[in-house]
Amino acid sequence: MNELTYIGLDVHARSVVAGVLEGSTGEVRSCKAPTDTTELVTWLRSQGAAPSVAYEAGPTGFGLARACAVAGIPCLVAAPSKIAKASGERVKTDRRDALRLARLLRLGELTAVRVPSTCEEGSSSCETATPW
């Protein structure tokens, strides 16, 4: 029996929708999740003993992936262009996207992108080396 909880997140600047798949029971549900990274990580911890998380790479950046890593929560940032889509799937909603990510995470069907360091991502807190 699989004790993991698989969580797919559809992350936007002002909203986060979660698709949760319980590995032990097969129960599937969706809900709104906190948008603040600290609150979201706390919420993820409350979703089961062993949550595993995935979200699509996008304009929101990689702060969530880094926060999950610090908290010890496995987090895969998926390459959007590599996510399989059904040919007849025309209606696209945040809820459906989040649930699809959770299902694909459970199946191991997501292609991860490398999470860059804060310096590589262009954070102003990094000092640049002088070339001379």
Work out how many domains the chain is built from and give that number: 1
In a domain, 17, yes or no: yes
Residue 102 near residue 20, CB atoms below 8 Å: yes
Name the pTM for this structure.
0.86
Residue 132 in any domain: the answer is no
Q: 70 and 40 in contact (C-beta within 8 Å)?
A: no
- The answer on pLDDT for 28 being more than 90 is yes
Is it the case that residue 119 has pLDDT exceeding 90? no
Q: State mean pLDDT over 78-91.
A: 80
Q: Which domain holds residue 62?
A: 5-114
Q: Is the alpha carbon torsion for 38, 70, 82, 114 positive or negative? A: positive
Query: CATH number, domain at 42?
Result: 3.30.420.40
Q: How confident is the model at residue 53, as a pLDDT?
A: 97
Asked if residue 131 belongs to a domain, the reply is: no
Q: Output the average pLDDT for the chain.
A: 87
Asked if residue 123 is part of any domain, the answer here is: no
- Residue 89: is its pLDDT beyond 70? no
